[in-house]
Amino acid sequence: LWALASDEAALEAAVASLGMWGPAALIGINVAQILVAPIPGYVVQAAAGYLYGPLWGGIYGAIGLMIGAMLAMLLARLLGRPLVERMIGQERLDRWEKLTFSTSTAVWFLLLLTPTGDLPYFMAGLSHVSFTKIFLLTLLVRVPSSFVVAAAAAGALTLSGWQLALVFGVLGLLLLVFLRYQDRLVHAIDRRVEQQIPEREIS
């Protein structure tokens, strides 16, 4: 599965050979890349865009993303810390575990916005944050990227070399800033949210 999902050309050929079952296979592989790290999700989304165009490719990528995200959260909630520790590692779990004490919409929005991979879904499973909140935040924050990748793979969206470098540079800078100041950011956002939103809405 790793060899297939990490080779875009091989993946496209394999999915195309499945005919009408191709979309289901892409969705399944996209789910697997979340549950069985570290399969690169962008390869699956790019293959979907190339084979099915920017619209349906984006839809298939989004469906796989949403199913995988909810399953990761469900499994973590059912099986607990041992599963999450196995999936993301002891060190990362220790570093991020404090997030499980927050149900703040702003905190989880920020976590999903930064390039933290699939870690938020497993951490959400250990927390008391609701499935509905993570579902809606994923829909808002991460699903659009599936359509962007699909559109680029379908040739409907083209970026020059400097534009790609700029995008990745900005994402990298945001990640570094977040990792450096994550404690301050989380506490500041929590305080801000608690001041402006009734507690029943935060939880």
Q: What tens digit of pLDDT does each residue of 151-177 get?
A: 887 776 665 666 656 766 665 676 667
Nearest CA-CA partner of 98 in 5, 183, 194, 13: 183
**Per-residue pLDDT reduced to its tens digit, 17-45:** 888 898 998 899 889 888 886 556 778 88
> Is the confidence at residue 182, as pLDDT, over 60?
yes
Whole-angstrom distance, CA of residue 4 vs CA of residue 1 = 5
> Is the confidence at residue 191, as pLDDT, over 90?
no
pLDDT of residue 121: 92
Q: pTM of the full predicted structure?
A: 0.72
Give the tokens for residue 147.
Answer: 């359509």
Higher pLDDT, 29 or 95: 29
> Is the confidence at residue 112, as pLDDT, over 50?
yes
Higher pLDDT, 59 or 150: 59
pLDDT of residue 76: 93
pLDDT of residue 203: 44
Q: Any idea what DSSP says for residue 130?
A: -
Query: Percentage of the chain surpassing pLDDT 90?
Result: 23
Query: Percentage of the chain surpassing pLDDT 70?
Result: 72
pLDDT of residue 185: 66
* Average pLDDT of the residues of the chain: 79
Give the containing element (helix H, strand E) for 58.
helix 41-79
> Is the confidence at residue 146, as pLDDT, over 80?
yes
CA 149 to chain CA centroid, nearest Å: 13
Instruction: Give the length of the chain.
Output: 203
pLDDT of residue 59: 94
Confidence band, pLDDT 50/70/90 cuts, at residue 85: confident
pLDDT of residue 74: 94
